[in-house]
Structure formats: structure tokens, C-alpha cells
Structure 1
Amino acid sequence: MNEKFRFYSDRNFLYRYRVQKDDYRETLANAVIPNPLTPFKDELFSSWIARLSAKFDCQVSTFLNIYFPFLRDKRLTARDMDLVLDSELAEIFSQKTRISKTIIYNTGLKSYESYLSETIRDNSRNNLISTVKIKGSYSKSYGLKYCPYCLRENNYFKKQWRLLFVNVCEKHNCYLLDRCPSCNNPITITKRKKGIKFFNCPFCGFEFHKAENEKVSSQSKAVENQKKMLEILNNGYFIFENKPYYSIFYFWTVKKLAKLIYLDEYRRNDILQTEIELHNYPLKSKKEIKSRFIEDFLEVKEGISLFTAIYDILKDRESFDKFVKDNNLSFYILNTFKEGSDYNPPYWYIDLISNYQVGINNQIVTEEMIRNAVKWMQKNGIRVSLRNLAKWTGIDFCSNKKAKVLKKIVEDNKT
């Protein structure tokens, strides 16, 4: 009898405790987060969330479950949250922290839309964004990079470290690291050993800022060329033969050349070979490559050589022409693309390769392409008009089959 009574008493206590706990959770779920940390200007979303969680001495998953229980269906810690963050989620985090929605949205990779690519998706690979595969809240791929010297100065991860063509630290002139120097596991920042103030490896506890890293050779053009590519991305346009063009065209072409060089082994290029020798790290052979998606597996030193060379190839028409001739590239190879709107070549690229065949057919211009170009113009304070759109995209509206539809999109957004 006493046993039963004792059991009932314990159950009653637990029941009362559970009610109190649920009330407390409900209060936190509806409360504004006190004294939140403001993201750094160039900080990555997952880095900010990790720092915010550490402030309250809990793991990211616990922090989100307590303050954002209504987001459980989003499974943020089981996905690449830097890709998942959209305008709607940014608004939710803004309301809970009283930090500007724009500031929060700009920590996510979707903020690169209309600059790096027309669309950034959270459920698939994205051009020139390193892949981070999550399993059980831990990263299983080497898609997140960092500079230990930057972490020593400010304890946060930069958004640009997720870009495939960013592989060196311009400030400290060193290679970026893409794995724990102690145990060689991929970098995971949404998990950490508790009781350690700084970002650390959840597997071995190594504090990432304590790593030492190799400096880039002073003879390499890597730092200089990477800086110029980032300028194109941040400005949203590039200049070619004294004409401005939409930055999406540039990065579409960068990805096309990366596939030709890395996957198809068209590697006759002086800058490429010089960089490979300087970094003492050859590109993988075709037999060693098991996937067509270079975002999944391109290593840091491979990326340095590859994109340093690509920037040099695209600096002017003469350099591009030399690359084509040195590798005996036919027009068919240059003009071969996968089906689908995402793979429609930009007019600037078609013009670039037009010398290799006379009488090229007009390429497809999608409505999505025009809408994204209009969105980019509005975001950058450029007057929306057919004349300006033609100037920045190189599209000849008169010769396009969908001219009426495309013109209507522009007219509806005209300023």
C-alpha cells in the first residue's frame, strides 16, 4: 500500500512539475529574447545562431526548441539552415530579437539571389555554394571553411566562407581550413563541447581559433583574383570591354569554365599550371572524380588554382580566346548545356563564344531571368526600363520570340 501511495505521490509531483514546465516553455516561446547578439555585417546565419545559443549556455537545438518551438517542422538543425533562411524566417527571428529583418536576412545564403544566381534553393545544390550535408545535426561534408586568425580577432564565421571560389583569407594571406585540424572531421558550428567559450569541434573539443595555417605564396595571384571576384559579387555587376553586365552572367560563365577545366580536363592554361605548382596540389584526374557536382567535393587548394585561373581567363576576350585555342575547344563543347531554365546561357556568354561559329540562333530568355534582373535593378536603385535592362543584360528584346511577354514584365515594374 505504501509503495502504491508513494508511486502515486511521485506521479502527482511529476504531473504538477510538467504543467509548470509547459507554462514556462510557453512563456519563453512568446517572449522576446533578452539582450540578443547583433550579427556582424558579414556573418553567416548559423554562426549567429550558434553564438546566440552559447550566450544562454545551451546547444543550438535546445535554444531553438525553447524560443522557437513553432519552427520544429522546419528541422533547422537537421538541414543546411544557411540555405533555409528566407524572408519569412528572417521576419520571425526579427520579431523575437528586435533586430532588423534585413540584417538577419543578409546572414543567409539566399541573400546572394540576383547576384550569384537567379535562385538559391534550400533543397538542392546551388551553383558555386559549397555543399554542407547534415546528418543528425552534424556536418558530413567539408563545405564550411574558416580562417583561424579571423576567429581570434572576432569569434564568428563569415558568410563568404561558404562560396566555392573563396579559399584564401585576403586579410591574413593564408589558406582557409575546411576540417578540424585535430581530428579531421568536417566543421560543425551548431554543435559544440559545453563549457568552452569559443567555436570548437563537437567531436574532440579542439578550439578552431587555435589552429595554425599555411600562408599563400607571394607569387600566387589567388588573393588578388579572389578579391576581384568578390567585388563583382558584392557590386552585382562586372565590366567587360568597357560595358557593364549583370553579375549573374559572370558567375554562370565561371561555373561553365569550372566544369570544362575540372571535370572535362581542359587544363592547358599557364596560370592554372603555375598555381598548381605554387600550392603543390594537383587537380584530381577524371577517374578520381565520382560526381559532376564540384560543389560537393572541391578541395581548398584545388579551388584556389581553379578559380584563380578562371578569373584570368575571363578578364578580356583575348585571354578567353587563348584558352579556347590552347584546349582546341569546339563551338559544340562551348555551347553544350543541360536542359532547364537554370542552364540557359546568358547573352553575354553567347556573344563571347560567337566568334567560333557564324549564325548562332537566338538563345532562350526566360521570364524568371527577366523578373530576377528587374528585382536586382530595384534593389540597386537602377531605374527599371527596357533600355536599362538591355544595357545590363545584353538582351535584344526586338529579336526575342517572347518579346511581348518580357516587355510586359518590365512595363509592370517600370520606375
Structure 2
Amino acid sequence: MDTRGRVGRDIPPGVDQNQWQFRIVPANDELLSTYLVRRAHCQGLSPHRFMERGLPGVQIWNRDIDSSLSAPVSARIAQYCNLAEQDVKAMTLYDLVGFDSPASPDWLLYQSWINAVGIYHRLRRRFGLQYCPLCLQAQPVFQRAWRLAFVFCCPEHGVFLRNCCPSCGTAVMPHRARIDMTRCWKCGALLSGGTVVESTAVPVALETQRLMMRCIEDDEISLGSTNVARSEYLCAAVTVLRVVKEHMHSHPSLWSFDVPIDAVHAQVKFLGMPERLSLFTMLLEVMDDWPANFLHFSSVAGITQIAFGRRRNVPQWMNEVVAQLPARLRSRTGAMEANFVRYVRRLENEGGTKCRALRAQALMLAAKGKYGN
């Protein structure tokens, strides 16, 4: 602040930046990136200028620091913001699911269920940051749980979360807001504005969300007649969901709802809320009453062991269930059939005037079962 009481971009010479900082306590379950934005706005600075002063040369806003914050950068943020290192880590997504750092091997599994924000330089091209308009209206805080792919509703207010500006439809980017991160950075409209529409689908979404939250809240998860470790359940669930997606459109009668074909090929973290809700609802149906529902679905959908690949990282209890599936639906090609296929392909590749005659002769012999005899 200068002699006229103005907050400008430059600090007067001789001012210690560490003494100039003051402490702002993080809110409960607050997201680290939005905490830094809130902190910068409280000091009359843009988020970019605020972090450049405290951590010069460190890339912050062109990274997803909520899911990939390293220990050295975490320590520097803690020192700069007058916080304990544990307080900084408590605002990250990997801490939300019980990991000490993003280098934990199992964190890669959870990242597949963290909504992608689509970082492109300092922009966000995807709608991965969700929010409850009523919560945001009461307190300017973005919660960590809103980044989870299986979180769809606010359990406090019973409404679906939003993922864009209600006025212009732009993705939420708090770090680009000039003064107030509860406003759209592009059009300036309140993110909590507009009509909050109640939906009859909220109870189903809340129940799906409650069951999926076990993946981050419980150390052990009940599965059938036994309890399994959280990490093992997650590994199995990720694998099962991938296989279910691959067989959805070939057997649409198995499901009471439609999922666009794009949802089959795209990763879960890239999908919109309706698609994610449908997929996680299906996942819970297949995983329920384990392994009866899974085996029944696999039998009807024609799923074999091949669909699960080599299953190197799948827990043993799931390997035992997958082993009950047929190895393949068709028998392996015998040596004679393989030789016949190679012979026909060679004829087609060589071409020539006699190609058609020789191929027709070979096909006729194969049809009579005399090829190779």
C-alpha cells in the first residue's frame, strides 16, 4: 500500500514480504488453488501477481496443483502463506483420499476418477470444477469433494452441482477472476445466480454418491460376504467399469438408461455429469451382491477372461472370480486353418492372372474339408 492508501502492483522499497503477509485460515475441505485465489484477492492482488511475488519462477496456474502439488512447492507455499505444511497438504486432492504425496502408486487409480479441468496454459478447457450455487452463495469456498467424478449433488442442500457459469456457460476459472472468484471470469455474472432447479433424480444421485464415497472414507469396504481393502476395491472397480463400458452398447437391454456412444470410449474424468451418474450407477449394480451380479452380467454380455487382459494389478479375490469366466467364446484357430489363411493372403498379395482361380480352388477344398489332406 502506498502513501495514498492505494494497493498497487509494486511494494515500496525495504518492505519485507514475509512480514507483509498475514494469515488467512483455510476453510473446511477447501481446495488449495481456490484458497490461494481467495488469499490473493484479500490482499488486493491478482492470483498471478500474488504467487509470483512469493514463489517466483514456480509454475502454479498452468498446473493442476490440487492433484499434483510436490513437497518442495508445498513447503514454500506454507512458508509464504504463514501456514503449517500439513494445512497446505490438507487442501490437496491426494490428501482427500489418504495419500501423503502424488507419488503414491495407488494415487494413479484415483486420478482416473478426478474430474479433468483441461489445462491449456492458464485456461481451463474442461468443466471439471463443480460447485454448489447455494454453498458458494453462503461462503466463497470451493470444496475438494466437488472435483470427484462420483460427486453429483450437494448433500446439504439436495441440489445438483454446477460446472459452468449459469449466464454464459463458460468453464469455472477462479484464478482468472479479477476481484471476486464467485463471479464468472468472462461475463462477470454470479456463479450462484440463476434459478436452482430441483430434480426428482437427486435422491438416486445422492445414494450413488454416498456408496461411492466409501472409496475415500472407509479403510475396508463390504463386498459380498467379505470385507476388502479400499485400494483393492478401487482397483477392481476401475477395471470392472472399463469392461462394462466396452459392452454397454452391444447389450443395451441390460440397462434401464441410455449412455451416449462417446461415453464408452472417453475416460470417466472427461465425461459430463449425466454420463458419469449413469456409469457409476451401473458399476454399483454390477458390484452389488458380489460376485453373483458380476458373473450374471458377464454371462449375458458374453464377457470372457480376455476382456480383463493380463490382470497384473487386479487383487487376488477378483482374479479368482474372473477365472470362472470362459477363456474365450471361440476356439483357437488350428494349425491347418492358420496355414489356409496364410496361403489365401499370400495369393491375394501376389495377385496375377491365376490368383482368383487358385483362391477359388483353395476355398472350395476348405469348404469340403479336404484342404491340407
TM range (shorter): 0.7 to 0.9
What is the CA deviation profile of residues 102-160 of structure 1, one whole-angstrom value per residue up to 9, with x for unaligned ones? 22202112223659983446xx9931111112234221111111111121232211111
Structural mapping, 1:96-107, within 5 Å: 96-107=80-91
Task: Report the Cα distance in structure 2 between the residues aligned to 1:152 and 1:336, rounded to whole angstroms.
Answer: 48
Structural mapping, 1:153-164, within 5 Å: 153-164=138-149
User: Partner of 1:207 in structure 2?
Assistant: 190
TM-aligned CA distance change 1:249 to 1:270, over 3 Å: farther
TM-aligned CA distance change 1:211 to 1:267, over 3 Å: farther
**Alignment counterpart, residue 307 of structure 1, candidates 280, 296, 301:** 280
Task: Report the Cα distance in structure 2 between the residues aligned to 1:348 and 1:306, rounded to whole angstroms.
Answer: 23
Q: Is the 8 A contact 1:271 1:312 kept in 2?
A: no
User: Partner of 1:90 in structure 2?
Assistant: 74
Kindly indicate whether residue 27 of structure 2 is the aligned counterpart of residue 61 of structure 1: no
Query: Secondary structure of 2:221's match?
Result: strand
Q: Is the 8 A contact 1:261 1:267 kept in 2?
A: no
TM-aligned CA distance change 1:48 to 1:272, over 3 Å: farther
**Alignment counterpart, residue 33 of structure 1, candidates 6, 21, 32:** 21
Q: Is the 8 A contact 2:235 2:313 kept in 1?
A: no
Kindly indicate whether residue 178 of structure 2 is the aligned counterpart of residue 193 of structure 1: yes
* Structure 2 portions without partners, runs of 5+: 1-9, 328-373
Task: Report the Cα distance in structure 2 between the residues aligned to 1:137 and 1:337, rounded to whole angstroms.
Answer: 39
Query: Secondary structure of 2:235's match?
Result: helix
**Alpha-carbon offset, residue 40 of structure 1:** 2.1
Task: Report the Cα distance in structure 2 between the residues aligned to 1:269 and 1:319, rounded to whole angstroms.
Answer: 17
Bigger shift: 90-99 or 135-144?
Answer: 90-99
Task: Report the Cα distance in structure 1 between the residues aligned to 2:155 and 2:251, rounded to whole angstroms.
Answer: 27
* Structure 1 portions without partners, runs of 5+: 1-19, 277-281, 359-415
Matched residue type, 2:149: L
TM-score, with normalisation over the residues of structure 2?
Answer: 0.74
Kindly indicate whether residue 20 of structure 2 is the aligned counterpart of residue 46 of structure 1: no
Task: Report the Cα distance in structure 1 between the residues aligned to 2:310 and 2:273, rounded to whole angstroms.
Answer: 27
**Alignment counterpart, residue 79 of structure 1, candidates 52, 58, 63:** 63
User: Partner of 2:204 in structure 1?
Assistant: 221
TM-aligned CA distance change 1:186 to 1:353, over 3 Å: same
User: Partner of 2:114 in structure 1?
Assistant: 129
Query: Secondary structure of 1:221's match?
Result: helix
Task: Report the Cα distance in structure 2 between the residues aligned to 1:290 and 1:353, rounded to whole angstroms.
Answer: 22
**Alpha-carbon offset, residue 233 of structure 1:** 1.3
Task: Report the Cα distance in structure 1 between the residues aligned to 2:156 and 2:29, rounded to whole angstroms.
Answer: 14
Matched residue type, 2:294: F
User: Partner of 1:347 in structure 2?
Assistant: 316
TM-aligned CA distance change 1:173 to 1:219, over 3 Å: closer
Task: Report the Cα distance in structure 1 between the residues aligned to 2:255 and 2:175, rounded to whole angstroms.
Answer: 36
**Alpha-carbon offset, residue 24 of structure 1:** 4.9
Q: Is the 8 A contact 2:224 2:288 kept in 1?
A: no
TM-aligned CA distance change 1:56 to 1:114, over 3 Å: closer
**Alignment counterpart, residue 327 of structure 1, candidates 292, 301, 308:** 301
**Alignment counterpart, residue 283 of structure 1, candidates 259, 270, 278:** 259
State percent identity of aligned pairs: 19
Query: Secondary structure of 2:227's match?
Result: strand
Bigger shift: 175-184 or 247-256?
Answer: 247-256
Matched residue type, 2:320: D
Task: Report the Cα distance in structure 1 between the residues aligned to 2:238 and 2:145, rounded to whole angstroms.
Answer: 17
Task: Report the Cα distance in structure 2 between the residues aligned to 1:311 and 1:290, rounded to whole angstroms.
Answer: 17
Task: Report the Cα distance in structure 1 between the residues aligned to 2:240 and 2:43, rounded to whole angstroms.
Answer: 46
Task: Report the Cα distance in structure 1 between the residues aligned to 2:36 and 2:11, rounded to whole angstroms.
Answer: 24
Q: Is the 8 A contact 1:32 1:98 kept in 2?
A: no
**Alpha-carbon offset, residue 21 of structure 1:** 5.2
Task: Report the Cα distance in structure 1 between the residues aligned to 2:232 and 2:20, rounded to whole angstroms.
Answer: 42
The alignment yields a C-alpha RMSD, in angstroms, of: 3.1
Bigger shift: 158-167 or 257-266?
Answer: 257-266
Q: Which has the larger Rg?
A: 2
TM-aligned CA distance change 1:183 to 1:322, over 3 Å: same
Matched residue type, 1:54: H
Q: Is the 8 A contact 2:240 2:283 kept in 1?
A: yes
Q: Is the 8 A contact 1:192 1:200 kept in 2?
A: yes
Query: Secondary structure of 2:174's match?
Result: coil
